[in-house]
């Protein structure tokens, strides 16, 4: 058995049937990390002693014949913007280089309670700001499919580890596409749930009204398993929804025949790579072949999504990042004469260029003289974008689109052109602005064998239908091409 290519589902049955121990599984992943992660750079911190202790506890349970929790012994990686008690959490920034959180993020705590074994913390763009992982203050991540290319971002380490087989599943965060876009570029599954479905307690905030936590996995079923474990009300996050959590796994095999799949022309216009377009169109045809009805819909405000996102996100970021002042935790400049000099120097030395750019843009958008012209206007357009989806979802059950306009680009290709980088998010930011669920799953490869992702959006809190359609598509694709 190739332990590194197991799915969660495969790993838990192998552990439950005692074909493999949790300890052997964790060791296999650390061996592969030692051999291969040097060339990829997906991990920032490993916590091997802690992981092996956890694996040993699972093995002890299995030995006694006790019932095992749902993710018993599953080796996972956690994006480094999610706090983990006792394990260094940097947010990809020098300002938190030595930060050891005193508490664990709810989403991670729920995975650990379900038996998951945390291998380490995943590299990401600094404070999750970026689309290529090149904004990490430590080192970039390379795409395992072609190491001259980016893995996407900001959850680049999370996507690359799943693609490389150095974690079975990982958690990422998605403020404007940061789970779905790297999933697409690395050829794995990435799910952004509905806003409020998963608690954000312990997520180091970038833009609080847009931030989401979700899984990156090898299969849609694995994404359903992780979501089922993490979702649900948490008293520590007042925005987490008080709604029952469906059994996403049980719902996967319900038939998709008769479901209506919306296709919006605004997602297939200028700027979309021809090979990406034909792969996504073929995927939509495959869904039609499963008995889904393909229905044209219109999302007329899509063209305003990028400017709207980059105002709302930077405004919220400028406010959230005010807490990094060198006083309470994180980096403090040593050579300051006065208190305000200490704030200024700590922030100047601790933050990278993109983070500073966002703080300045956001501060400007929120400033008294410009607030109405930028922030207020952006919030109004955000409402229009949300209404576009509300209207469309009166006619359809899910909406299909590309995840990213292109396949993985080369390292350095866009790093000196922030605007070009921002445009990489054109198909993903809308779901964050509207708060609806979105998934990316592999639907093909271009002529250079680089992965292409299909994106599916659903109604608020209807992850079950999104996952069901994604699962049905994944099953036909693997049946046709032998892809697992
Ligand atoms: N690429 C987008 C940005 O740079 C999205 C980031 C994210 O989703 N965290 O803001």
Per residue in 16-28, pLDDT (tens digit) is 889 999 999 999 9
CATH of the domain at 229: 3.90.1300.10
Ligand 1 contacts CB of residue 175 (under 6 A):
yes
Question: Tokens 């795409």 sit at which residue?
Answer: 143
Ligand 1 contacts CB of residue 185 (under 6 A):
no
- Ligand 1 centroid distance, CA of 80 (Å): 15
- Of 323-337, 386-400, 437-451, the range with the lowest mean pLDDT is 323-337
pLDDT at 484 over 50: no
- Of 289-298, 304-313, 382-391, 471-480, the range with the lowest mean pLDDT is 471-480
Ligand 1 contacts CB of residue 177 (under 6 A):
yes
**What are the DSSP E strand ranges found in 328-404?**
398-402
Average pLDDT of the residues of the chain: 97
Active site residue 199: no
Number of domains forming the structure of the chain = 1
- Ligand 1 centroid distance, CA of 132 (Å): 9
Q: In this predicted structure, what is the pLDDT of residue 70? A: 94
Nearest to 42 by CA among 147, 218, 166: 166
Ligand 1 contacts CB of residue 174 (under 6 A):
yes
Q: Classify residue 475: in a domain, yes or no.
A: no
Strand partners, 439: 191, 456
DSSP string, 262-300: EEEGGGSSTT--HHHHHHHHHHHHHHHHTTPEEEEE--T
- Ligand 1 centroid distance, CA of 312 (Å): 12
- Joined tokens for residue 19: 């074909």
Q: Classify residue 375: in a domain, yes or no.
A: no
Q: Classify residue 389: in a domain, yes or no.
A: no
Answering whether pTM is above 0.75, one says: yes
Confirm if 136 and 160 have CB atoms less than 8 A apart.
no
Question: Tokens 């601790």 sit at which residue?
Answer: 350
> How do residues 261-305 score in pLDDT, each as one tens digit?
999 999 999 899 999 999 999 999 999 999 999 999 999 999 999
> How do residues 224-266 score in pLDDT, each as one tens digit?
999 999 999 999 999 999 999 999 999 999 999 999 999 999 9
pLDDT at 438 over 70: yes
Q: Classify residue 332: in a domain, yes or no.
A: no
Ligand 1 contacts CB of residue 313 (under 6 A):
yes
CB count in 10 Å sphere of residue 194? 23
> How do residues 187-216 score in pLDDT, each as one tens digit?
999 999 999 999 999 999 999 999 999 999
> How do residues 394-411 score in pLDDT, each as one tens digit?
999 999 999 999 999 999
Ligand 1 contacts CB of residue 152 (under 6 A):
no
Q: Classify residue 117: in a domain, yes or no.
A: yes
Atom of ligand 1 nearest to the CA of 432: 8
Phi then psi for residue 217, to 5 deg, are -145, 175
Mean pLDDT of 312-317: 98
Mean pLDDT of 339-344: 96
- 482: confidence class by pLDDT, cuts 50, 70, 90: low
DSSP run (H or E) holding 453: strand 451-458
Mean pLDDT of 7-14: 93
Active site residue 395: no
Q: Classify residue 91: in a domain, yes or no.
A: yes
Q: Both ends of the chain: CA-CA distance in Å?
A: 15
Catalytic member of 136, 155, 158, 178:
178
Phi then psi for residue 260, to 5 deg, are -100, 125
Q: In this predicted structure, what is the pLDDT of residue 335? A: 85
Three-state DSSP class for residue 44: strand
CA-nearest residue for atom 5, ligand 1, is 176
Catalytic member of 131, 132, 154, 184:
154
Q: Classify residue 211: in a domain, yes or no.
A: yes
Atom of ligand 1 nearest to the CA of 130: 4
Name the region of 430 (left: φ>0; alpha: ψ -120 to 50; beta: rest).
alpha
Enclosing domain of residue 213: 8-256
- Ligand 1 centroid distance, CA of 93 (Å): 15
Atom of ligand 1 nearest to the CA of 179: 8
CB-count burial class (<10 Å; 0-12, 13-18, 19+) for 428: buried
- Joined tokens for residue 287: 């869904």
pLDDT at 483 over 80: no
Atom of ligand 1 nearest to the CA of 178: 8
CB count in 10 Å sphere of residue 65? 8
Nearest to 276 by CA among 455, 476, 61: 455
DSSP run (H or E) holding 157: helix 156-164
Q: Are strands 169-173 and 75-79 parallel, antiparallel or unpaired?
A: parallel
Q: Classify residue 194: in a domain, yes or no.
A: yes
Ligand 1 contacts CB of residue 126 (under 6 A):
no
- Joined tokens for residue 480: 């046709």
Atom of ligand 1 nearest to the CA of 128: 9
Active site residue 154: yes
Task: Please give the biggest Cα pair distance in the chain.
Answer: 70
């Amino acid at each position: 058995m190739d332990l590194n290519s197991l799915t969660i589902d495969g790993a838990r049955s192998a552990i439950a049937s005692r074909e493999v121990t949790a300890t052997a599984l964790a060791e296999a992943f650390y061996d592969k990390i030692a051999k291969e992660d040097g060339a990829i750079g997906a991990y920032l911190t490993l916590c091997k002693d802690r992981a092996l202790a956890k694996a040993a506890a699972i093995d002890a349970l299995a030995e006694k014949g006790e019932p095992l929790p749902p993710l018993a012994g599953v080796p996972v990686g956690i994006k480094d913007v999610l706090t983990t008690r006792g394990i260094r959490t940097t947010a990809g920034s020098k300002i938190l280089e030595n930060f050891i959180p005193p508490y664990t993020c709810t989403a991670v705590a729920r995975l650990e309670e379900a038996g998951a074994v945390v291998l380490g913390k995943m590299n990401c763009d600094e404070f999750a700001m970026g689309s290529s992982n090149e904004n990490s203050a430590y080192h970039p991540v390379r795409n395992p499919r072609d190491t001259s290319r980016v893995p996407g971002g900001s959850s680049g380490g999370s996507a690359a580890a799943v693609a490389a087989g150095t974690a079975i599943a990982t958690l990422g965060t998605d403020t404007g596409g940061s789970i779905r876009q790297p999933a697409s570029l690395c050829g794995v599954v990435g799910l952004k749930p509905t806003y409020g479905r998963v608690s954000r307690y312990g997520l180091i905030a970038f833009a609080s009204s847009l931030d989401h936590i979700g899984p990156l996995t090898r299969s849609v079923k694995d994404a359903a398993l992780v979501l089922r474990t993490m979702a649900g009300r948490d008293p520590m996050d007042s925005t987490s929804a008080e709604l029952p959590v469906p059994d996403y796994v049980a719902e996967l095999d319900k038939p998709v025949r008769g479901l209506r799949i919306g296709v919006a022309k605004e997602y297939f216009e200028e700027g979309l790579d021809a090979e990406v377009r034909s792969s996504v169109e073929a995927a939509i045809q495959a869904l039609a072949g499963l008995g889904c009805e393909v229905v044209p819909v219109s999302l007329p405000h899509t063209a305003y999504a990028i400017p709207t996102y980059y105002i709302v996100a930077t405004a919220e970021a400028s406010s959230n990042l005010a807490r990094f002042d060198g006083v309470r935790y994180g980096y403090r400049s040593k050579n300051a004469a006065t208190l305000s000099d200490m704030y200024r120097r700590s922030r100047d030395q601790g933050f990278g260029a993109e983070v500073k750019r966002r703080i300045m843009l956001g501060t400007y958008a929120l400033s008294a003289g410009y607030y109405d012209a930028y922030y207020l206007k952006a919030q109004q357009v955000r409402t229009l974008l949300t209404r576009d989806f509300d209207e469309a979802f009166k006619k359809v059950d899910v909406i299909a689109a590309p995840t990213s306009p292109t396949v993985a680009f080369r390292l350095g290709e866009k790093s000196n052109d922030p605007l070009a980088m921002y445009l990489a998010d054109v198909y993903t930011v809308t779901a964050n602005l509207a708060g609806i669920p979105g998934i990316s799953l592999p639907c093909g490869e271009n002529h250079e064998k680089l992965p292409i992702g299909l994106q599916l959006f659903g109604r608020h809190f209807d992850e079950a239908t999104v996952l069901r359609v994604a699962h049905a598509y994944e099953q036909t694709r693997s049946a046709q091409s032998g892809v697992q």
